Amino acid sequence: MSDLPNSPGATLLLIDDDPNLILLVRDYLEFRGYTILTAANGTEGLKILETATPQLIICDVMMPEMDGYTFIQTVRQNPEINWIPVIFLSAKGQTQDRIKGLNHGADVYITK
């Protein structure tokens, strides 16, 4: 992740169904110069990816409509966007949850 540009114009996609977490993380990252796109679930995230290509995706695991696992599997199957690093940011913090997230294609798994 050290090669991720920290400058205006670097775009990140943040996907989480908790509006308070979205506000907190978006404000934190925008203050540091990132452009933040947001979605409330994986389905919305995929729609955003049809028109935008972020340099990083931060995604919750447990969401309505489309969870993080299904979202990341869809991303990893698409050669146009499968290179985008994905960080899972989840309340599920047990070892088997982390292993499952990494096995599904996450580059990093962080517990909320």
**Which secondary structure element, helix H or strand E, spans residue 65, and what is its range?**
none
19 within 8 A of 42, measured Cβ to Cβ: no
The C-alpha angle with vertex 52 and arms to 90 and 62, in degrees rounded to 5, equals 20
Give the predicted TM-score (pTM) of the model. Answer: 0.85
* pLDDT, mean of each 10-residue run, the chain (112 residues): 56 96 94 94 96 96 92 96 93 78 85 84
Q: What is the DSSP letter of 18?
A: -
The per-residue pLDDT for range 41-71, each reduced to its tens digit, is: 999 999 999 999 999 999 999 999 999 999 9
**Which secondary structure element, helix H or strand E, spans residue 89, and what is its range?**
strand 86-90
81 within 8 A of 53, measured Cβ to Cβ: yes
Q: What is the DSSP letter of 62?
A: S
Q: What is the DSSP letter of 74?
A: H
